[in-house]
Amino acid sequence: MRRTALLASATLLAALLPWASAHAADAPAPVPVDRFEGEVPFAGQPAEGIFTWGGDADDPPTLSLAGRADAPEGAKVLTGTYDISGYGGFTHDYAANEPPHDWSAHRGIRLWWEGHGTGRKITFEIKDGGAHGEASELWTTSFTDDFTGWKQIELPFTDFVYRTDYQPVGGIDHVLGLTRMWGYAVTLPTGAPGTFAMDGVELYGTADQSLRASVTTDAAVYPVREGGTASVKVTVATTGERPLTDPVTVTYATRGGTATAGQDYTPVSGTLTFPPGTASGTSRTIEVPTRKDRSAEPAETVPLTLAVTGAKAPAETPQVVIDAHGLPYLDAQRPVRERVADLLSRMSLTEKAGQMTQAERGAMSTPGDIAGYALGSLLSGGGSTPTPNTPEGWARMIDGFQLRAQATRFQIPLVYGVDAVHGHNNLAGATIMPHNIGIGATRDPALAERTGAVTAAEVRATGVPWDFAPCLCVTRDERWGRSYESFGEDPALVQSMETMIQGLQGRADGRDLSRGDKVLATAKHFVGDGGTAYGSSTTGTYTIDQGVTTVTRQQLQDIHLAPYETAVRRGIGTVMPSYSSLDIVGDGRGAVRMHARGDMINGVLKDRMGFDGFVISDWNAIDQLPGDYAARVRAAVNAGVDTMMVPYGYKDFTAALVGEVTAGRISERRIDDAVSRILTEKFRLGLFEHPWADTSGAAAIGSPAHRAVARRAAAESQVLLKNDGGLLPLKPSQKVYVAGSNADDLGNQTGGWTLTWQGSSGPVTTGTTILAGMRKSGAQVTYSQDASAPTAGYDVGVVVVGETPYAEGVGDVGNGHDLRLSAADQAAVDRVCAAMKCAVLIVSGRPQLIGDRLGRIDALVASWLPGTEGDGVADVLYGRRPFTGRLPVTWPRSEAQLPINVGDAAYDPQFPYGWGLTTLTEVPRGGAATLKALGVAARAAERAGADAAGRALVGKARLIVQQRTGGRLTAAVAAPFAEAEHLLLTGRYGQAVEKLTAAYRAV
């Protein structure tokens, strides 16, 4: 999430010194905040001034101070352009070391805005209280660009509400005090390019007495069983928790809603009085009795109106909800199919459209939109977290959203989703597993399942029942910024690791989904996302991600579709289409975006494969389809997309979907199919019976037991590429010189999709770096990141180098990234390896080009992105566990070789697919004769279906070949060696040994 610290300029501070005296005046004159004549400079945080921010490199607006003859104030205005896909805007910050300002004498803040009549919302935010601009509370309101020309926008402080989606320090007192203010921020609209101009920001008017006190209720929705009594707690609070100086009265009455007074509930009315001297935080309770009858019926609402005098009223009217009861879909003893059919038959088109809509939790205009638009789903994007970012914070947030869904007619629960792609990676302190590329390197399906089980348990314990994982992409070009999300380049390897689905969901028939330690899983991105051609992307500065995959039908089936057939057999609950386009050679259609390919989604996935879950779109993917908005909705829904992830555009989507159905361009049958699929998974998850977070497993989040699984995965993911002289494993008695940028950086070690979408360097979460793991081993370790410390007197050097975090197309090679080590890392390798025997560990999401340095390196390890448990890396370095990992992708000699994959006609890599030396393992003797015997035994095992024996026999043959090469890897060796790995994974053990024998003879 963006940083929104609101600091301030010294120049402006001088202009605002009269505020304290103005506060005492009855009618203070307007006080300028920004005139945009140049008195406040453009700057970057934390310097005082105006600065921009955004979700990625393209989102921050471009600002300038422009002379305008029509400027409302002075000669210049602040103007800018923007084209925001995620979020973006600008802030005027007071420097954190300056005193805060007192705005409490004024009624509100106002500004001049040049309207364009777009109807789009502009969000305005102020920062209140706390120690400084980085540790205060954010309060927000908005106005709509529904006019043209200049207009003065007045924003009374009573209109500002506490931000529930993000708070820098988790909030302070939830009271807008106005006595310690740090500035303001403007969030610009998303989804389309635009321009803006503003001028004359100032404080105006006399403070409302209600600014010093506020009335709140303990909830917005009060579900109650028919015949029960709802208790609404009304609380008064004051700035600084001072007692009331004036009386506050709350007049209440039940009126309106869908329930019938006197029949469904007993009407109540009256007045609560909080006299002067009442302590801040004092509460009174209003009770609303409901009545019981014998008829089955949907939920009914009873609004409780509150008229407040002397304080700020609650932001919304609380509602008592009499629970739905007696209807067949509520009967947990009935088969899911019957429950779905009954509920579907009762729903309106608008309610069905809501079920097909997924919004981002931080993008909702108000939480009331959950019921207002009958939303079926919410998500947290990367870095979209509650405050505080704790298991309890997540559960409280999601329960709050679920409470809103209880105010709908049929009380259909939300299904909340997150991208937990290597552990519950949005949650601080969660267990972070190696990324999928490392899991593929383990070649351990049972371990893959265990990592999925740990992830599911930690995710579900925070109230989240749905995980947008695993990625079943088959990565075919390591220039792709999502390479590390793949288990590898071979579809057979990807299929073997799909045991992770069972770890996430449990048994394939879905019977385990309602458990408190399982989640609904998502196979993504259907189909061909890993095969996009370099240079084919048209998304911003991306070079390969979201590009075009061009394949024959046979290639499509063999490489990209095969993992989805396995996923469907394993009972995968949801599937997410790819942003990329698919161009099938010879079909005459050219490149078509996957979200519009009904032949693939409806035809192949649902019809041919028999997928009976639901299809969820990717983030805003509908916006990449051609045509106007209605045409995009029509294309995606008719292609088979059941739920649309429209983080910011949920209102537009529901309206367009209803319009398309009403016009007959989308059939009601198609809508019913989509909603039936969605409801089926909600019933299977047990959400109708238990919509609230089950936090009974929260104590295990980040526990030693969970971290032990991650530690083992980190150890097994390490691939030993070279080990001259048996340098590894290290001995505890050796004096070790450690260097390199990734030796002691937890953020680099965990990679992208860790706490934020892109991830970041540094101590981003709880875990153990590789250096810390080595030190815990009792080793004699000296650390110098840049290798500038003296190198004399050491037995061995360990240089840990590699990449910094990235995600998706932001990490594409050519988009600010390449496959070469940084200059600093190269220098560290050169310095250490020239001074002593050295092992180089590469922490990265894809192979890095070693070039001519390989000859100077004694031991080389592909460490991938091992997650939070650096102890696992230390385990193999010091021989507590053997090196057993094998390359999940081909390691190229140069970028010019890319793409390079097992089975290519020209195949001459630095290290072939499947390569991986071992330690603590005896290599069989006998050479060619032993290989011949192993081949005979492997064929026999294959015939007998003895898979474990067959794999073991091929493993012995591999050890013989790897020892024979002595590092002399030629194309004649590499090609059959890699092909043997593919044959092994497809159960052809005899042929695998034959290929390894060919590699042996080619040495």
- For tokens 């309101």, the residue is 141
Helix (H) or strand (E) holding 144: strand 137-144
Cα–Cα distance between 997 and 931 in angstroms, integer?
6
Cα–Cα distance between 670 and 636 in angstroms, integer?
12
**704 contact partners, CB below 8 Å, separation of at least 6:** none
- Of residues 767, 751, 85, the one with CA closest to residue 381: 85
How many Cβ atoms sit within 10 Å of the Cβ of residue 565?
17
Backbone φ, ψ for residue 231 (5° rounding): -115, 115
571 torsion bin: left (phi>0), alpha (psi -120 to 50), beta (else) = left
Tokens, residue 231 = 């208790």
Catalytic residue at 351?
no
Is residue 464 within 8 Å of 417, Cβ to Cβ? Answer: yes
Q: How far is CA 69 from the centre of its chain?
A: 46
The length of the chain is 1003
Candidates 478, 808, 875, 942; catalytic one: 808
Cα–Cα distance between 762 and 765 in angstroms, integer?
9
Catalytic residue at 808?
yes
- Of residues 852, 805, 848, the one with CA closest to residue 825: 848
Candidates 98, 137, 490, 618; catalytic one: 618
Show the DSSP H helices in 302-432 as ranges. 336-346, 349-355, 369-372, 391-405
Show the DSSP H helices in 570-702 as ranges. 598, 629-639, 650-662, 668-684
Is residue 563 within 8 Å of 494, Cβ to Cβ? Answer: yes
- Of residues 455, 196, 156, 518, the one with CA closest to residue 312: 156
- Of residues 594, 605, 593, the one with CA closest to residue 561: 605
Is residue 158 within 8 Å of 210, Cβ to Cβ? Answer: yes
- Of residues 571, 599, 477, 582, the one with CA closest to residue 525: 582
- Of residues 414, 808, 771, the one with CA closest to residue 619: 808
Single-letter code of the amino acid located at 329: Y
Judging by DSSP bridges, how do beta strands 161-162 and 137-144 pair with one another? Answer: antiparallel
**643 contact partners, CB below 8 Å, separation of at least 6:** 355, 356, 357, 358, 376, 377, 614, 615, 616, 617, 674, 678
Q: For residue 631, list its beta bridge partners.
A: none
Q: For residue 113, list its beta bridge partners.
A: 151, 198
Single-letter code of the amino acid located at 910: Q
Report the alpha-carbon angle 752-755-757, nearest 5: 45
Report the alpha-carbon angle 909-494-358, nearest 5: 125
Q: What is the DSSP string of 827-861?
A: HHHHHHHHHS-EEEEEESSS--B-GGGGGG-SEEE
Residues forming the active site: 618, 808
